[in-house]
């Protein structure tokens, strides 16, 4: 008998409360390694932050950072229900402005840390008066 665990991430991005992106994301190798090590060690730091940036390189399995990070913060909300993790963050007016094209989940809410996943998408032009909300789900199944 074989049992397989898959991680599937999906991202919904809203600009001023209007959905502008719905896309699957990539669970990167360092994120997979981090989760695997958690099986035998509870000393690892949990994923607590989300970052946005302006990089345009395709997401790759070997990614450990965003290409060009512009803002990062602790999750606004996070929850687990059965096998689905739901994470959300809102970047308020004046934060992370510019042509936002990438986002990632990290185990540090200010800088550095281990990245779990990364997504790259068409530019969302976030002006100084705009709010950007990212709703991220990771399904373990």
- Please report which confidence band the pLDDT of residue 7 belongs to, taking 50, 70 and 90 as the band edges: confident
Q: Is 18 helix (H, G, I), strand (E, B) or coil?
A: strand
- pLDDT 10s digits, 13-70: 999 999 999 999 999 999 988 888 887 887 668 899 999 999 999 999 999 999 999 9
Q: Is 35 helix (H, G, I), strand (E, B) or coil?
A: helix
**Number of separate helices (H) and strands (E) present in the chain:** 1, 9
Say which residue, 1 or 88, is predicted with more confidence: 88
- pLDDT 10s digits, 92-115: 999 999 999 999 999 999 999 999
For residues 106 and 112, give the distance between their C-alpha atoms in angstroms, rounded to a whole number.
8
The reported pTM is 0.92
Q: In the structure encoding, which two tokens stand for residue 115, read together?
A: 């990245």
For residues 140 and 91, give the distance between their C-alpha atoms in angstroms, rounded to a whole number.
27
Q: Residue 66: how many CA atoms within 13 Å on its side-chain side? A: 26
């Amino acid at each position: 008998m074989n049992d397989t665990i898959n991680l599937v991430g999906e991202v919904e991005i809203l600009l001023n409360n209007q959905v502008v992106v719905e896309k699957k994301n990539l669970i990167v190798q360092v994120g997979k390694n981090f989760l695997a090590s958690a099986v035998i060690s509870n000393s690892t730091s949990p994923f607590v932050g989300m970052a946005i940036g302006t990089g345009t390189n395709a997401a790759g399995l070997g990614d450990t950072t965003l290409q060009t990070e512009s803002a990062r913060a602790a999750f606004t909300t996070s929850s687990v229900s059965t096998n689905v993790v739901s994470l959300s963050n809102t970047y308020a007016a004046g934060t992370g402005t510019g042509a936002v094209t990438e986002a990632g989940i990290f185990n540090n809410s200010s800088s550095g840390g281990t990245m779990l996943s990364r997504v790259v998408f068409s530019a969302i032009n976030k002006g100084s008066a705009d709010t950007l909300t990212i709703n991220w789900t990771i399904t373990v199944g």
